[in-house]
């Protein structure tokens, strides 16, 4: 039976259909042959991740996983990483629910209760968050179920339950921001909060590890140590999700009850005020208050003006700056490592070079999407009397300059403390950066700059390969610091990824 029009299930069905189509088309494209190749690609990735999971958790399950507190602490620590990542994503998704103008004018002007829209969107955020989390943990859960028993499959429903709690927390954070700083600043603050939440855990742990041991290590270790310290090493409610994930039905029921309560409370608190807050958010406009001093034409040429335009557009958008700077947050441990090891560590060189390449790749990918797919006046630029390659060259120069400004301080530190690492690190950064730009060039689309984080208009495949290429170059760069020959061999997967991207490139590109 179809849901009544305007009801929560009716809105949810609509949200689900839209999300599903976006996800399906984004992941697999529309063409038959491309879809088959994309499926093969994803199966290969999944198999690789399962092999990696088997390698990582193999020692953990070799003697069977007990219900000991240290084991529960390790499981909880690993889960914490995924929960924090989900929270980061949920804050952004919930905030977007308030600011997405697309259909709000229609929905809020209709007699359907605004509360129903918000409830449906909150459920959708929960579901999306749960599916993404389940996908992320699936290699580990499947390997654990295979090696230590099917009870580990309970980790999937636990993921859904935790996603409910995470979404409720994201709703409370967003409402708090609205009340505390108003709609004008909430979007930026929430996006910064989202990025900080996502990056802080990783950066904090890496920094502490670097300062204590001189090299980054695994994420779970320090969190587990911290949890054991906080709980005193005894039985605690903190272990509830870990117990539930191991097949303890009592623990699962309790966790599910708490999660349902959190979601209900979040919906109750926020549902009534949603329409008012959404209208307040939508009535905010950007740019009206910004008046600049009288502008004189500089006489610069077309290429220089193209570069200046890109720099101005990024610099004048606080959200883009914050999002880009968040990607640079990962460079903070590099500074710490350079300063505190001061050339004494043999481990630091490869790690520094690898992380620098990674940061350069990520930053370049984001900026390349902004300047190429996020071009606001695409038709204007395309009708300009310039060769397309000149336009692309100017954009690449603009990206390269921004990336150079970001990573030059780290390169300077390297030159001073680890001069032998500098050439390889710089080459790795250039190659990772070039790969990310190539990916965005070959998969260029048309996207709204506000959807920078989601790389709107670019296929999911492009976003994933951009990240994979950056990771592969980072690995190869780290290895190359130790041995150039080994580094060249380690670079083969990175080159293969770029080749794969070229094969999958969009055929119909505008002239």
Partner 1 sequence: MIQSDNALEIVALKKSFDKPAVDGISLSIPRGMFYVLLGPNGAGKTTLLRMVSGILKPDSGTIRVCGIDALADPVAAKQRLAWVSDEPMVYDRLTPLEYLEFVAGLWSVPSDVAQMRAHDLLDWLSLADTANKRCGGFSKGMLQKMALAGALIHDPDLIILDEPLTGLDAGAARQVKDVLIDKVRRGATIVMTTHILDVAEPMAERIGVIANGRVIAEGTLGELQQRSGRSGSTLEEVFLDLVATRDAA
Q: Which is nearer to partner 1, 39 or 300 (CB)?
A: 300
Nearest CA to 390 among 483, 302, 462?
302
What is the secondary structure of 48-106 as a DSSP string? Answer: HHHHHHHHHHHHHHTT-----HHHHHHHHHHHHHHHHHHHHHHHHHHHHHHH--TTHHH
Q: Which is nearer to partner 1, 253 or 321 (CB)?
A: 321
Distance CA 331, CA 341 (A): 16
Distance CA 31, CA 507 (A): 11
Residue 4 touching partner 1 (CB under 8 A): no
Residue 385 touching partner 1 (CB under 8 A): yes
What is the distance, to the nearest Å, from the Cα of residue 128 to the centroid of all Cα atoms in its chain?
A: 14
Name which position in 293, 485, 503, 507 contacts partner 1 (CB under 8 A): 293
Name which position in 232, 387, 503, 507 contacts partner 1 (CB under 8 A): 387
Residue 292 touching partner 1 (CB under 8 A): yes
CB-CB contact of 474 with 431 (8 Å): no
Q: How far is the CB of 334 from partner 1 (least distance, A)?
A: 31
Stretch that binds partner 1, among 39-47, 64-72, 385-393, 495-503 (CB under 8 A): 385-393
Q: How far is the CB of 376 from partner 1 (least distance, A)?
A: 5
Nearest CA to 70 among 245, 232, 237?
232
Q: Write the burial class of residue 440 (CB in 10 Å: 0-12 exposed, 13-18 middle, 19+ buried).
A: buried
Name which position in 5, 291, 344, 485 contacts partner 1 (CB under 8 A): 291
Name which position in 34, 378, 451, 505 contacts partner 1 (CB under 8 A): 378
Q: Write the burial class of residue 49 (CB in 10 Å: 0-12 exposed, 13-18 middle, 19+ buried).
A: middle
Q: How far is the CB of 507 from partner 1 (least distance, A)?
A: 12
Residue 285 touching partner 1 (CB under 8 A): yes
Element (H, E) at 475: helix 460-482
Name which position in 243, 309, 395, 455 contacts partner 1 (CB under 8 A): 309
Name which position in 47, 253, 377, 486 contacts partner 1 (CB under 8 A): 377
Residue 46 touching partner 1 (CB under 8 A): no
Handedness of CA 243, 246, 252, 255 (dihedral sign): positive
Name which position in 102, 232, 295, 389 contacts partner 1 (CB under 8 A): 295
Q: How far is the CB of 494 from partner 1 (least distance, A)?
A: 33
Name which position in 299, 344, 485, 507 contacts partner 1 (CB under 8 A): 299
Q: How far is the CB of 381 from partner 1 (least distance, A)?
A: 7
Count of residues in contact with partner 1, rule CB under 8 A: 41
Residue 389 touching partner 1 (CB under 8 A): no
Q: Which is nearer to partner 1, 35 or 378 (CB)?
A: 378
Question: Which DSSP letter does residue 238 get?
Answer: G
Footprint of partner 1 on residues 329-348 (CB under 8 A)? none
What is the SS3 assignment for 271?
helix
Residue 282 touching partner 1 (CB under 8 A): no
Stretch that binds partner 1, among 257-265, 304-312, 456-464, 497-505 (CB under 8 A): 304-312
Q: In sequence order, which ranges of 331-387 are alpha helices (DSSP H)?
A: 332-341, 348-368, 378-383
Q: How far is the CB of 310 from partner 1 (least distance, A)?
A: 10
What is the secondary structure of 177-224 as a DSSP string? Answer: HHHHH-HHHHHHHHHHHHHHHHHHHHHHHHHHHHHHHSS---SHHHHH
- List C-alpha distances in Å: 495 to 253, 395, 436, 499: 49, 23, 12, 6
Name which position in 2, 232, 301, 485 contacts partner 1 (CB under 8 A): 301
Footprint of partner 1 on residues 99-138 (CB under 8 A)? none
Name which position in 383, 389, 503, 507 contacts partner 1 (CB under 8 A): 383
Residues that bind partner 1 (CB under 8 A): 285-302, 304-306, 308-309, 312-313, 316-317, 376-387, 510-511
């Amino acid at each position: 039976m179809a849901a009544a029009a305007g009801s929560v299930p009716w809105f949810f069905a609509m949200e689900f259909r839209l999300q599903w189509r976006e996800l399906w088309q984004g992941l697999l494209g529309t063409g038959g042959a491309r879809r088959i190749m994309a499926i093969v690609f994803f199966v290969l990735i999944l198999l690789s991740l399962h092999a990696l999971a088997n390698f990582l958790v193999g020692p953990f399950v070799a003697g069977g996983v007990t219900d000991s507190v240290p084991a529960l602490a390790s499981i909880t620590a690993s889960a914490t990483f995924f929960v924090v990542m989900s929270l980061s994503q949920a804050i952004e998704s919930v905030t977007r629910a308030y600011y997405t103008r697309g259909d709000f004018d229609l929905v809020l002007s209709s007699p359907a209760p605004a509360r129903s829209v918000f409830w449906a969107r909150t459920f959708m955020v929960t579901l999306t968050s749960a599916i993404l989390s389940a996908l992320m943990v699936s290699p580990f859960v499947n390997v654990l179920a295979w090696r230590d028993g099917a009870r580990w499959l309970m980790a999937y429903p636990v993921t859904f339950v935790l996603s409910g709690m995470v979404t409720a927390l994201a709703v409370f954070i967003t409402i708090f921001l609205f009340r505390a700083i108003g709609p004008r600043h909430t979007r930026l603050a929430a996006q910064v909060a989202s990025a900080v939440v996502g990056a802080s855990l990783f950066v904090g742990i890496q920094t502490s590890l670097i300062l204590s041991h001189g090299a980054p290590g695994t994420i779970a270790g320090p969190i587990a140590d911290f949890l054991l310290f906080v709980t005193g090493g005894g039985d605690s409610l903190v272990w509830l999700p870990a117990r539930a994930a191991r097949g303890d039905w009592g623990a699962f029921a309790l966790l599910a009850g708490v999660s349902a309560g959190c979601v209900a409370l979040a919906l109750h608190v926020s549902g009534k005020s949603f329409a008012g807050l959404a209208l307040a958010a939508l009535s905010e406009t950007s740019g009206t208050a910004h008046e600049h001093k009288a502008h004189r034409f500089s006489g610069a040429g077309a290429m220089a003006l193209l570069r200046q335009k890109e720099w101005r557009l990024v610099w004048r958008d606080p959200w883009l700056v914050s999002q880009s700077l968040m990607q640079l947050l990962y460079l903070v441990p590099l500074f710490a490592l350079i300063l505190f090891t001061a050339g004494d560590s043999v481990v630091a060189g490869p790690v520094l070079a690898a992380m620098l390449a990674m940061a350069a790749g990520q930053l370049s990918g984001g900026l390349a999407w902004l300047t190429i797919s996020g071009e606001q006046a695409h038709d204007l630029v395309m009708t300009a009397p310039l060769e397309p390659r000149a336009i692309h060259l100017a954009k690449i120069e603009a990206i390269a300059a921004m990336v150079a400004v970001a990573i030059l301080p780290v390169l300077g530190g390297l030159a001073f403390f680890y001069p032998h690492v500098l050439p390889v690190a710089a080459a790795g950064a250039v190659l990772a950066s070039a790969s990310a730009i190539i990916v965005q060039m070959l998969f260029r689309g048309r996207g709204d700059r506000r959807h920078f984080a989601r790389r709107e208009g670019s296929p999911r495949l492009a976003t994933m390969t951009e990240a994979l290429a950056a990771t592969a170059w980072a690995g190869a760069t780290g290895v190359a610091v130790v041995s150039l020959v080994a580094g060249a061999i380690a670079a083969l997967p990175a080159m293969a990824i770029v080749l794969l991207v070229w094969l999958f490139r969009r055929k119909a590109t505008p002239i």
